[in-house]
Amino acid sequence: MSNKGELYLIAAPSGAGKTSLMRALLERCPRLALSVSDTTRPARTGEVDGEQYHFVDRAAFEAGIAAGDYLEHAEVFGNYYGTRRDRVEALWAAGKDVLLEIDVQGAAQVRDRFPGLCSIFILPPSMDELARRLNQRGSDSAEVIRRRLSEARREIEACSQFRWMVVNDVFERALDELESICTAWPLRRARQQARVAKLLDEDAGHSTISD
């Protein structure tokens, strides 16, 4: 990945506030661009194709899987979600760092392909607060909420696989922490080694300074 932009991955259980945090993070970090995922689920009220998701039918998605078009994909609650490889590469080619919003299943696939990525897990303050947020939405049945809470426990158990964890208890504080991670991450040793090598090469080519 040394010749490409950074790759950031954010995952969280449903209701943790991930989407709102990501929107605010994108406003603060102009170099960062979201790779919008494909999904086979129907668009919800207010959703626009190409903004929240690219909405595709199941046959088209499965054809994309067979062709190797997806960097990662997963089936969640009967619907496919996936990140197209060509969209990520196009953003890198445009000089952007890429942000992926995916679930724990997809995150594992991307980590296998890009072990040097920056992975962040958004935690809710508590399971009670997560349940309150899901109920407050008013868009899901009691059965769906119970299923989402059960899935949230499974996802939270996997949070140790991520490099960073941010608790979304106070929105602005969580946003500040996300911005700090995105600011510090490009300065890590592995990313700077190429710059150090270049400096040393330049120094080796200089003539010695005479007295």
pLDDT at 191 over 90: no
Which pLDDT value is given to residue 113? 93
pLDDT averaged over every residue in the chain: 92
Instruction: Write out the two tokens for 25.
Output: 């993070």
Q: With cut-offs at 50, 70 and 90, classify the pLDDT of residue 1.
A: very low
CATH architecture of 7-204: 3-Layer(aba) Sandwich (3.40)
Q: With cut-offs at 50, 70 and 90, classify the pLDDT of residue 135.
A: very high
Average pLDDT over residues 167-171: 97
The torsion angle over the Cα atoms of residues 181, 80, 96 and 179, rounded to 10 degrees, is -20
Task: Give the amino acid at 117.
Answer: L
More confident residue, 167 or 189: 167
Which pLDDT value is given to residue 130? 95
Which pLDDT value is given to residue 137? 84
What are the residues whose beta carbons fall under 8 Å from the beta carbon of 187, sequence distance 6 or more? none
Which pLDDT value is given to residue 5? 92
**Among the listed ranges 39-48, 135-144, 176-185, which one has the minimum average pLDDT value?**
135-144
pLDDT at 210 over 90: no
pLDDT at 211 over 80: no
Neighbours of 82 (CB within 10 A): 24
Which pLDDT value is given to residue 77? 83
DSSP letter at 20?
Answer: H
Which pLDDT value is given to residue 121? 97
Instruction: Report the percentage of the chain scoring pLDDT > 90.
Output: 78
Q: Which of 3-7, 37-41, 77-81 has the highest mean pLDDT?
A: 37-41
pLDDT at 150 over 50: yes
Dihedral (CA of 154, 139, 82, 186) sign: negative
Which pLDDT value is given to residue 2? 42
- CA geometry: angle at 71 spanning 166 and 191, to 5°? 55
Element (H, E) at 128: helix 127-137
